Chains A and B, each alone.
Chain A
């Protein structure tokens, strides 16, 4: 991956020609639209269990296009509102992960000696501890006063930054060796100045491409934590719907609609993030761009 990226304009031109990437982008925009317009699309009162108006677990019909759940709530309403929660969790966790990853990565690459070493060890620790067991452990640490959804966001963010940090550190090391940074140092530029003005702009493209891939992982992670019963059942996400469906016997009662629609939404959005991420990588990396032709 190279820091010598083309201008934003040429980047966009490359991206636009990437059919995979554009498909991903369109899907993401579509789902973002659903998330933003949720209050217009479905009445939030339909999320309350005591307001379940349909027959429990009835298949899709005109009144309930996605069928109903165990309490007679419309699965469509839940999927629409779930879009919001799932995307917020995914994006928020990604932001946390990117900020920590970039910060630690740059600092670890910039500072030599003990501080850098310690940051390296910390990154290593997160890299050698398996992701899910750690996430499960951390998810149980938070005091009850912290809303579960915040806990989940933090947990996912905190457990997924290490690979970004490693990437950024490698990039920082290569940038630090360049002549203009030697010049900046010679001119007495402070650490902060060097990192902000010279290193950060050069690692940003790398971070950007990493963002979409991390977002896909974050959304999957939220779903998996929910499946293990650690999700925030108060704020219905796709993962929570799937968990409720599984616990509610959708599998043995063949209530396929209860799993299919949230499951499909999940796979489509994660897929869209992955497609976008890969397209970004291609657009940023001239080596791969050549291959695309």
Chain B
């Protein structure tokens, strides 16, 4: 994810359908649930079809890429490998075989990793979720807190400083931050890369946490702006709402007004964004995973392009889109529960 996945969503979520304003005010009826589930299933089916054809267009000669470039391969052997990989078959036959295997939960065998696609993805899934998930949690929590404070105290020096820094970081590619961290911090207190140190005497979890700090920091620095800016603007919206005036009139202290009244209502857009971003967690962070040698799915995707490793690419993109579709569904289903206005209705 060169751009934080959420960067795109930032434009969509709050602006297109300002939650609490235009967004559907549906109650959580069985009909609503069924509709949402069906729509997700249709999208997923569409993804399966499009992905299949997308990777068939990629140029390359997998037979040559995945056999040793040395005396060990002769031209006849290349022809043989091409046949084994099923490259010669007509497209519709390849597609049918793919769908049939998919129905059995079989994503095929990765040409480059020499193992089943499911296990290749399985190996790398947890590192990715650990890195991107932690980064997302931390940045959402910090960002929402920061945004609430700055929005409430709009125009204060703290707001100016925080917003300025946020936008500047938001405008920086995360790998550039990674490079700066790599040269300045590593080698002193933090390791240069990887997820574990095979020679470490520390307990495994601590070792991983220690390796997690820098790549995670990289992502947090970029993601945090998003949450803080959105939270800030929702807070601005709420600031002048009538009910707050009522609350103030009742003599409540200012920070209590913020925490009890403004904050819960302003939380909605950020929460929506959080769920949408959650879907992108599995797709990893290619550039940061590269700079810090993190063994995640983003890096695996980049490696799978060599060849190209079509079965692995198919599996990866299916996993990615399934993650996003699932989380969109969760967001849709949670929405009626979260929106106080829907509840009140």
Contact = CB atoms under 8 A, between A and B. Distances in A.
* A touching B, CB within 8 angstroms: yes
Interface stretch (A72-80, A85-93, A192-200, A213-221): A213-221
Among B2, B3, B57, the most chain A Cβ lie within 10 Å of the Cβ of B2
Contacts of B320: 128-130, 133
Interface string A165-191: 011001000100000000000000000
Given A129-B320, A132-B286, A136-B302, A291 B11 contact: no
Contact of B324 (A128, A135, A266): A128
Contacts of B59: 140-141, 143
B94 interface: no
Interface in B290-328: 290, 298, 301-302, 305, 308, 313, 316-317, 320-321, 324-325, 328
A254 B286 CA distance: 25
Main secondary structure on chain B at its contact with chain A? helix
A242 interface: yes
Interface in B37-94: 42-43, 46-47, 50, 54-55, 57-59
A182 to B, nearest CB: 21
Given A121-B42, A136-B302, A213 B2 contact: no
B54 A137 contact: yes
B182 interface: yes
Given A129-B317, A133-B283, A224-B2, A291 B12 contact: no
Q: Size range of the interface on A?
A: 35 or more
B134 interface: no
B176 interface: yes
A287 to B, nearest CB: 7
B196 interface: no
B275 interface: no
A247 to B, nearest CB: 12
Interface of A: 1, 121, 124-125, 127-137, 140-141, 143, 160, 162-164, 166-167, 170, 174, 210, 213-214, 216-217, 220-221, 223-225, 227-228, 242, 246, 251-252, 254, 259, 263, 266-267, 270-271, 274-275, 278, 281, 287-288, 290-291
Given A136-B301, A210-B11, A224-B287, 11 more contacts: A129-B320, A133-B283, A140-B58, A162-B8, A166-B12, A166-B16, A221-B3, A223-B173, A224-B2, A266-B173, A267-B171
Interface of B: 1-3, 5, 7-9, 11-12, 15-17, 22, 42-43, 46-47, 50, 54-55, 57-59, 154, 167-168, 170-173, 175-176, 179, 182-183, 233, 236-237, 239-240, 279-280, 283, 286-287, 290, 298, 301-302, 305, 308, 313, 316-317, 320-321, 324-325, 328
